[in-house]
Amino acid sequence: MSKHTVDLPRAKKLKKLGWEKETLFRWRVFYNLKTNKPNNAEAELIYGKRKAAGIHFNYSAPIASEILEELPETNWQLYRNKKIWVLTDHTISLPVFNADTPAEALGKMYCYLKEEKLI
């Protein structure tokens, strides 16, 4: 199922940028008592619509359609070029984002738009 959601690093970035929307999936990261830090190697993808924003070591893992709902309405073009998914909008000046999955391409665009304060 992880091919349908953003990966853990992108989920963490979404949380940092203020993602608060409920999602069907979330990444749960276990706490390592020996190192007193999160253990990303033991992260698991969990199904269950639950708001994960603000809960320590739980990160929303949106699927492509959940990210699309948060993006501004425009002429998005999402297509597969061999093994890479490409997201762009040629009607406005935005960078092109390549990723292994549609959700990752959309997640990259969402993060870019948030970082540039365009949404």
Pairing of strands 84-88, 77-81: antiparallel
pLDDT of residue 34: 73
pTM of the model: 0.82
Most confident of 19-33, 52-66, 83-97, 101-115: 101-115
Read off the pLDDT band of 106 (50, 70, 90).
very high
